[in-house]
Structure 1
Amino acid sequence: MNYAQLLFPDFSLIACGWLLCRYTALNRRVWDQVESLVYYFLFPVLLFHSIVRSPLDFGATSHLLTAGVGVGLSGIALAYALPFLPWLRTHIDRSDHAASAQIAFRFNSFICLALADRMAGPAGLLMIAVLIGVCVPLFNIAAVWPMTRHAQTGFARQLLRNPLIIATLSGLVANLLGFTVPDWLTPTLTRIGAASLALGLMAAGAGMQFATLARGKTLAVSVLAIRHLVLPLIAWGLALGLKLDAAQAAVLMTFSAVPTASSAYVLAARMGYNGAYVAGLVTLSTLLGVASLPFALSLGR
């Protein structure tokens, strides 16, 4: 499987956004409005549709779900712990950490879906749908918490106002209640989802400033190492410990090593944090996925 070819569309859209913002009349004023559109409308529709379109079969995937949540909680714990580690805390900016901790545990669900379909067909899609349905709300809440805590704003209030969390929780409830999207509405929602991915990645490119990464190298290396090295190793251990079959292990290893979510940049920027820094991390994570995916899948064989 050619992982570079699979990830090239994401990277090229980031590059397009960067070039357009810096060398055309489509400057920051334009991209600020694009970010708002993505954050308040396009991404919420995408998340809701992604969760409700596939029934969640918890019984058939209980071991996989346990392993996936275990991987996610491990990533959250490791990301949160970084500022408290004696050899790291003096080199980490707390504000940048609050915004970029999400890089370590969030995942690009559409790359997961594409890979699961290629490796395990409809069964793989069903398995990854369960992981997405459970983990997206959990990870979005975990992404918001450090930012609200650092800004000393009410966590519950931020959750109730955050459109990404509202959409994911609504999607999960709707799925559990058996709600299905009408066939006539599906093409519209699919196109909105495609637009959100393209514009979200281009907005990340437009907001990227490479100099910000140079000022936060320790934090960047730490969160990316968790995302692309540590989590695949944890997933491998859980796959062995829970005796997952070959298809479930392949889905879990993919889940543990894909690039981080492209919406990480929009979330950080809209909440008033260093979006340029997070955009750089999204770009690097997309590139690192070319190496971490084959590494993770080789462990699961």
Structure 2
Amino acid sequence: MMIANALGPVFLLIVIGAFLNRINLPGTDYWPGIERLTYYVLFPALLIHRLALAEFSLGSLGALSAVVMVSLLLVTGLMALLYRFLRFNGASMTSLYQGAIRFNTYIGLAVASALFGEAGVAQAALALGIMIPLVNVGCVLIFAWWVGEEGVNGRAVFIGLITNPLILACAIGLLLNATLIGLPGWSAPTLQLLGSAALPLGLLAVGSALNVKALGHDWGPVLMSSTLKFLVMPATLWAVAVMVGLSTLQQQILVLIGCLPTASSAYILARQLGGDASLMATLITAQTLLAFAVLPLWMMVVVGG
């Protein structure tokens, strides 16, 4: 019951977003603006606020970083092996890869807040601060490997990373924390107010972006990517976290992030870098819908209740 009560409002907001888009409220021209506001202003404000004021040690941050890096390498290695045996072309494999390792941060932080409170959101923000840049680098490298013809453009990768608002927010928050500057004066309540709007608007935007018509007949790739996303990724993060000795809360947060549906931004990357954008759209919608069933199951396993 506890899990249902925590996750119910999160999924209901996604459904409301889909319904509002269906009845054209506030209008199709407004949703892109809402998404940009959330991505470039509200969500970065939330990350900076949480990370700047979070309490953590360098040792725990190092252990968390090690778990994330090892897990991502293991899943990437598995994908590389699958590439040798599966009959999918490089463009399709990039969509499978993004479907397996990318995650929807809005859903993740909303669930972390609902289940674990302030401590959970702080731990989730720390994990995201580590995972977001690593996942972005990994995806760009995979595109260069499987569909690129001229190798990796290091300068473009670097510019993309340093201009990513979520990566910038994580870096600023961690820097403010490490230097003990924190959030002086009115900055803390201001960022808190901005950040409080990020999750409800982000979840509504997730719902508005759902496109059931995109669900075609790509059930083989959907099954493969969803198995990696909802089974392999969270199980790998959990196993490595247990071996390293992370706290129970950190283990729970990593499992939560691992089984989140893939991010809608994956479609943009697929379009820009020559991936299979049509398949990516299918995966985004299919995984978001599947998450309604899978997330509660995983949370019952690692949290109970």
Same fold by TM-score, threshold 0.5 exceeded?
Answer: yes
Indicate the larger mover: 11-20 or 221-230: 221-230
Distance in 1 between the 2:143 and 2:267 partners?
8
Distance in 1 between the 2:40 and 2:221 partners?
29
Distance 1:125 1:265, change over 3 A: closer
1:282-301 → structure 2 map (5 Å cutoff): 282-297=288-303
Whether 1:131 and 2:116 are equivalent positions in the alignment is no
Q: Cα distance, 1:228 vs. partner?
A: 2.5
SS class of match (2:102): helix
Aligned equivalent of 1:23: 23
Distance in 2 between the 1:145 and 1:162 partners?
16
Whether 1:81 and 2:80 are equivalent positions in the alignment is yes
TM-score, normalised to structure 2, is 0.75
Distance in 1 between the 2:97 and 2:299 partners?
26
Q: Cα distance, 1:253 vs. partner?
A: 3.7
Q: 2:239 aligns with which of 221, 233, 237?
A: 237
Q: Cα distance, 1:98 vs. partner?
A: 6.5
Aligned equivalent of 1:108: 108
Q: Cα distance, 1:192 vs. partner?
A: 1.7
Q: 1:188 aligns with which of 167, 190, 194?
A: 190
Q: Which amino acid aligns with 1:200?
A: G
Distance in 2 between the 1:9 and 1:230 partners?
27
Q: Cα distance, 1:290 vs. partner?
A: 0.6
Q: Which amino acid aligns with 1:87?
A: L
Structure 1 stretches lacking a partner, 5+ long? none
Q: Cα distance, 1:73 vs. partner?
A: 4.1
Output the aligned Cα RMSD: 3.8
TM-score, normalised to structure 1, is 0.75
Distance 1:127 1:61, change over 3 A: farther
Distance in 2 between the 1:230 and 1:144 partners?
21
Distance in 1 between the 2:141 and 2:90 partners?
22
Give the conservation status (yes or no) of the 8 Å contact 1:112–1:255.
Answer: no
Structure 2 stretches lacking a partner, 5+ long? 272-276
Distance 1:18 1:130, change over 3 A: closer
Aligned equivalent of 2:161: 159
1:220-264 CA-partner distances (Å, limit 9, x unpaired): 33333233322343244335533x37xx14531442145766892
Q: Aligned pairs, how many?
A: 290
Q: Cα distance, 1:34 vs. partner?
A: 1.4
Q: Which amino acid aligns with 1:256?
A: V
Aligned equivalent of 1:5: 5
1:144-169 CA-partner distances (Å, limit 9, x unpaired): 65568868872222223322222222
Give the conservation status (yes or no) of the 8 Å contact 1:52–1:171.
Answer: yes
SS class of match (2:190): helix
Give the conservation status (yes or no) of the 8 Å contact 1:47–1:171.
Answer: yes
Aligned equivalent of 2:255: 256
Q: Which amino acid aligns with 1:170?
A: I
Q: Cα distance, 1:56 vs. partner?
A: 2.8
Residue identity (%): 23
1:52-85 CA-partner distances (Å, limit 9, x unpaired): 220331225655553344334434555x538714
Distance 1:132 1:15, change over 3 A: same
Distance in 1 between the 2:27 and 2:82 partners?
35
SS class of match (2:8): helix
